[in-house]
């Protein structure tokens, strides 16, 4: 059941990842198309967790100040994935773009197609490390069992691509 959406602007965090095609371009295109962006984390290269064998991901977290509802945010995320040519074939499989709603201040929902806060965000270093860049108040610790060694900072999304 859904908690009613706030009518005023509040912080929302979206997690973005890509490991197919021009990963930088997929992330940049999504960030450019998302309204209300106020901050973007460093881009990190990460090893895939779960799913079939696949190449490394680029991940970042985007902070919005928005009055969009949770459903509007979900639609926006799905539109960005479709625009990047995402095809859902294998759970946790390779993808041109994955956009997840991680957190929205003061809101929660637990529906079949949408759970906010994201139920596994605090278990994933590829989410927590970039999330710490834009919302340090929400990241209390990075799980040691996941190891931050598999999350390599590359630089800002809008700047040079790093290494």
CA–CA separation, 112 vs 103, rounded Å?
Answer: 17
- 113 catalytic per annotation: no
The partner residues of 2 in beta bridges, in order of sequence, read 109
Pairing of strands 115-116, 109-110: antiparallel
Spot the catalytic one: 11, 23, 63, 100: 100
Which residue among the candidates 98, 137, 149, 161 is catalytic per the annotation?
98
Is 100 a residue of the active site?
yes
Q: Is 22 a catalytic residue?
A: no
User: What's the CA gap between 37 and 24, in Å, rounded?
Assistant: 17
36 is catalytic: no
Among candidate residues 163, 145, 143, the one with its CA nearest the CA of residue 153? 163
What sign does the CA torsion over 127, 84, 10, 133 have? positive
| Annotated catalytic residue within 23, 63, 95, 124 | 95
Catalytic annotation, pick one of 28, 86, 124, 132: 86
Between CA 84 and CA 38 the distance in angstroms is 22
Positions marked catalytic: 86, 95, 98, 100
């Amino acid at each position: 059941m859904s908690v009613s959406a706030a009518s005023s602007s509040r912080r929302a965090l979206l997690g973005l990842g890509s490991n197919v095609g021009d990963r930088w371009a997929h992330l940049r295109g999504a960030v450019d198309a998302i309204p209300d962006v106020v901050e973007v984390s460093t881009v990190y290269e990460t090893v895939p967790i779960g799913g079939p064998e696949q190449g490394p991901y680029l991940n970042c977290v985007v902070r919005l100040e928005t009055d969009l509802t949770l459903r509007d945010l979900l639609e926006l995320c799905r539109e960005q994935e479709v625009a990047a040519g995402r095809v859902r074939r294998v759970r946790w499989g390779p993808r041109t773009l994955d956009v997840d709603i991680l957190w929205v201040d003061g809101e929660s929902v637990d529906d079949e197609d949408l759970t906010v806060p994201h139920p596994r965000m605090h278990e994933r270093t590829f989410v927590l490390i970039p999330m710490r860049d834009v919302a340090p108040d929400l990241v209390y610790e990075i799980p040691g069992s996941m190891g931050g060694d598999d999350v390599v900072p590359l630089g800002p999304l809008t700047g040079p691509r790093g290494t």
